[in-house]
Structure 1
Amino acid sequence: MKTYLAIMNPENPYTFSTDQKSRYDDTGETPTGKESYYIESKKFPEQTSIWGMLRLLMLEQAGLLHSNFDYSEQESESIKELIGAESFDFSSKGEQDFGKLLSISPVFLCEYGDNGEVQYIVKNPKCNICKKGFSGLSMKEICGETDYGTIHLPDKYEGKTGPAEGYINLTTHKCYSDDDLFKRVVQTGNRKNKNGNLIDKAQKSKAFFRRSEYVLKKGERSNRCFAFFVKTNDVILRDDIVTVGAGKNIFSIRFVEKEEDLEGLVRKLGDNSSQVWGYALSDIVLQEVPKYDDFVMVDMRFVRNIITKAYKDKLSYHSRFSRTPERTVLIQRGSVFYNNCFKISDDEAGKSKNLKKLGYNKIIVIGGDNK
């Protein structure tokens, strides 16, 4: 088995789609999300986007990628052995086989200087009560009665301040806001057909759009990139240029053979604390909105899974893609859980091991004896 630190640098401003504009052209598919002339972007790629990019890269580097996606039976077997026979599916109840691509970690930010030192930046735990470092929120020993039942309550909590936001450097414990790390760029354009004409002349207003994009800001003495760990069954990954997401964002990617050390650095946040809590290093995938039996600080969002159909079905390019109408519940990274709230069962976590392979459902226990 080989483990790599993958460092992914955006070559241009990037955009990662939300539920907006989720209908694919030429499919006749009913829209499943909001349609707006203003297209918003997420700051981070989805784990599924990283997974799809890696599968495509492995095919390309193995010489098994055809532009027309038309393969012989022997080539199809080689592809199945390398990356598995099917795409990831949130709703799959059985364990999926992804060939020699074993797993990836949650995506995070990294910054590295001229000396080659790499430092990791993750979502600031919502329980951080220090603005220039890290100090975790402690719970009172005695429980209190609330509208949600009898639960532990914070010892010192400023309601007007609210939960911590932004990001934290796991080496220096320096905190960053979104504006410290990301620059937002707004592009204006119009949708045209292959002949260069507006798609809808009768309703020209529908042809125009505005799209937000992001650029990673450089540090004072360092560059910032996206990063993640990837494990393969002895597949050698080489530096390359890749596209990520439906927007075909261009990234340069390099692979450094290195043992995973991200989780250990996260646990060090609790080195000086006896309080035990769970930290969502990744997004947590659930089948429904959970009910908690103790104090939590969480944000939630929803996603839809993209399903791809094989080339052998003889469909046009866009017709091979569709978004599931059902939305999956995600607790966002950076959320924190006290006492037993972070012990999510396999049934609640998606009924399979597939989620953890893609870097979802990674909860790190911090504090107490978890050094």
Structure 2
Amino acid sequence: MSKKYKITLSPVDKFFFGGDMTFKVDNNENDKFNEQFSSYIIKSTMFPQQTSLLGMLRFLILRNSGEEIFKDGKITDKGKGNEKEEGKAVKLIGSHSFSVNDKHNVNNFGKIINLSHIRVQRTENGKISELEFAPLYCKEMDWNGANKAWFNSKEISIPDMPKYNAKEGLQTQLTDGVNQYKLEDVFIEDRRIGIHRNITTGKTEEGALFKQIAYRFNNKDANHCFVFDAEIADDIVFKSYNSQLVSIGGDNSHFIIGITENNTSNNNISSIDNAVYLLSPAYLTHEDMRLAKFAITNIIPFRFLKSSINAESYNILNKDVKRSNVKYELYAPGSIFYFEDDKTKNDFIEKLKSKKEFRQIGYNEYK
């Protein structure tokens, strides 16, 4: 048996969610890491990866499990780290972090059954609403005035899109189903410029200048926080973790977690005839994309950290923590796909649903 929860994340200060790129690590042993992933201008994403939410939940359950399972930042009851000889920690959070498999089966995360995609909760004058991604111009498409074009040796129709700007590409907004909000009305950039100094000598090193762009919520006219849903086994007293401090992302990004039982959805977003748009990042193959007759999309890179319950340390530079070998490409939330008829639309939806390991942690969600 399980229970469904509404989880809010209220930032204590600015927040920073990284991706592949990080600052240079000042250590000769990390040259390979620096070469692949370092940069001197780093900009946060506005939303955390779903894998980060999963990692936060796994750690939250662990640190509240008692010293016989987790003590001094380390797992004390690992068992053999497999299903046949499970320790108590494996039963709580599973033996491994998120992974992609050829059959797209769900992963085992112990007491964590699934979680939804991240959203923004807006509170204004006591009224609470949830903001979802939506394309800016989805209802202004004119297929009657469509133009013909050739793409990959095939004739296609391109609708008249009065609000589409080719230089901007995919443009998205946040909506509660009634009101629309620009991203810059909800998020504020927090820019920081600094100089790296040698931790031993205190001297400024060559190429030490860096620039970091984090985010804050714009709480001038309304209060904002992140929100998502999770289904947790009911033998975990999950509500008792309410109001604890949790960490997500980098640069000491801390949040106060709010937990309430919830079995209803606040999704008031309407669907569009013969079209599907993404509420979350989504993994789709090139073959899946052939079902759409037309699409306006953006691609975001996706890598995740791989670790097992046997890791001695979960620091990114530790040998027990590795980045996924494959760099995946996900279609960004707000991407919209148009179809010739209901059959191909439904076939496309089934393709989204078939990536079960992605759906399990809040990817591939659509309207």
Alpha-carbon distance between aligned partners in 2 of 1:229 and 1:314, rounded to the nearest angstrom: 29
Q: Secondary structure of 2:92's match?
A: helix
Q: TM-score, normalised by structure 1?
A: 0.80
Residue 308 of structure 1 aligns with an amino acid whose one-letter code is S
Q: Could you tell me which residue of structure 2 aligns to residue 214 of structure 1?
A: 215
Alpha-carbon distance between aligned partners in 1 of 2:315 and 2:258, rounded to the nearest angstrom: 33
Alpha-carbon distance between aligned partners in 1 of 2:146 and 2:169, rounded to the nearest angstrom: 22
Alpha-carbon distance between aligned partners in 1 of 2:43 and 2:266, rounded to the nearest angstrom: 30
Work out the number of aligned pairs and report it.
344
Q: 2:53 aligns with which of 41, 50, 55?
A: 50
Q: Could you tell me which residue of structure 1 aligns to residue 228 of structure 2?
A: 228
Matches within 5 A, 1:147-296: 147=151, 149-154=154-159, 157-160=162-165, 165-171=171-177, 173-192=178-197, 195=200, 197-198=202-203, 204-220=205-221, 222-234=222-234, 235=236, 236-237=238-239, 238-239=241-242, 240-263=244-267, 265-266=268-269, 268=270, 270=272, 275-286=273-284, 291-292=289-290, 293-296=292-295
Q: Secondary structure of 2:87's match?
A: helix
**Cα 1:90–1:34, aligned 2, differ >3 Å: closer, same or farther?**
same
Alpha-carbon distance between aligned partners in 1 of 2:65 and 2:231, rounded to the nearest angstrom: 17
**Cα 1:33–1:280, aligned 2, differ >3 Å: closer, same or farther?**
farther
Matches within 5 A, 1:66-215: 66-73=71-78, 77-91=87-101, 93=103, 94-113=105-124, 115=126, 117-128=127-138, 135=139, 137-140=141-144, 144=148, 146-147=150-151, 149-154=154-159, 157-160=162-165, 165-171=171-177, 173-192=178-197, 195=200, 197-198=202-203, 204-215=205-216
Q: Could you tell me which residue of structure 2 aligns to residue 338 of structure 1?
A: 338
Matches within 5 A, 1:291-306: 291-292=289-290, 293-306=292-305
Compute the displacement of 1:159 (Å): 4.6
1:259-312 CA-partner distances (Å, limit 9, x unpaired): 24144x12x355xxxx33111111011355864340111111112221225555
Alpha-carbon distance between aligned partners in 1 of 2:32 and 2:346, rounded to the nearest angstrom: 38
Q: TM-score, normalised by structure 2?
A: 0.81
2:6 pairs with 1:5: yes
Q: Secondary structure of 2:14's match?
A: coil
**Cα 1:72–1:229, aligned 2, differ >3 Å: closer, same or farther?**
closer
**Cα 1:286–1:27, aligned 2, differ >3 Å: closer, same or farther?**
farther
Alpha-carbon distance between aligned partners in 2 of 1:192 and 1:229, rounded to the nearest angstrom: 42
Alpha-carbon distance between aligned partners in 1 of 2:229 and 2:314, rounded to the nearest angstrom: 35
Q: Could you tell me which residue of structure 1 aligns to residue 83 of structure 2?
A: none
Q: List gaps (5 residues or longer) in structure 2.
A: 81-85
CA contact (8 A) 1:127 1:163 kept: no
Q: 1:361 aligns with which of 344, 358, 364?
A: 364
CA contact (8 A) 1:121 1:169 kept: yes
CA contact (8 A) 2:190 2:214 kept: yes
Q: Secondary structure of 1:207's match?
A: strand
| Percent of aligned pairs with the same amino acid | 20
RMSD over aligned Cα atoms: 3.3
Alpha-carbon distance between aligned partners in 2 of 1:254 and 1:228, rounded to the nearest angstrom: 10
CA contact (8 A) 2:276 2:338 kept: yes
CA contact (8 A) 1:5 1:258 kept: yes
**More displaced, 67-76 or 223-232?**
67-76
CA contact (8 A) 1:285 1:330 kept: yes
Compute the displacement of 1:156 (Å): 5.3
Residue 301 of structure 2 aligns with an amino acid whose one-letter code is F
Alpha-carbon distance between aligned partners in 2 of 1:338 and 1:294, rounded to the nearest angstrom: 6
Structure ranking higher in strand proportion: 2
Compute the displacement of 1:248 (Å): 3.8
**Cα 1:176–1:166, aligned 2, differ >3 Å: closer, same or farther?**
farther
Alpha-carbon distance between aligned partners in 1 of 2:137 and 2:349, rounded to the nearest angstrom: 23
**Cα 1:32–1:136, aligned 2, differ >3 Å: closer, same or farther?**
farther
Matches within 5 A, 1:19-30: 19-21=20-22, 27=30, 29-30=32-33
**More displaced, 45-54 or 285-294?**
285-294
**More displaced, 39-48 or 73-82?**
73-82
